[in-house]
Amino acid sequence: MKSVMDSAGRVLIPSELRRRASLSAGSQLDVSWEDGRIVLEPRPLEVKLVKRGRFVVAEAQENVPPMPAQAVDSVIAELRSKARK
């Protein structure tokens, strides 16, 4: 895929890549320089472990939108595909 940087240094991430990475407006990214490449990685979500009943769950430390069902289905399909290999 191809993209262009504008005069302000902004680069458009193609919609297919944004969808696959579950990125949306306001998503925070870590940017690094590795082996001559610019690398963008979604910033890890900070979570706190909280006991809910008999379970311990990870609770986000900031407001995050719910993950779209399509993204959940995509991740499940990918994990199942890898498990079959």
Tell me the domain boundaries of the chain. Answer: 15-84
Beta-bridge partner residues of 37: 34
What is the predicted pLDDT for the residue at 12? 93
Q: Which two tokens stand for residue 13?
A: 């991430």
Q: Is 35 left (phi over 0), alpha (psi -120 to 50) or beta?
A: left
pLDDT in tens, 19-45: 888 888 888 899 999 999 999 998 888
Output 74-78 pairs: Cβ under 8 A, ≥24 positions apart.
74/20
| pLDDT-derived band at 76, boundaries 50, 70, 90 | very high
What is the value of pTM for the model shown? 0.54
The residue behind tokens 């925070």 is 28
* 71 contact partners, CB below 8 Å, separation of at least 6: 19, 22
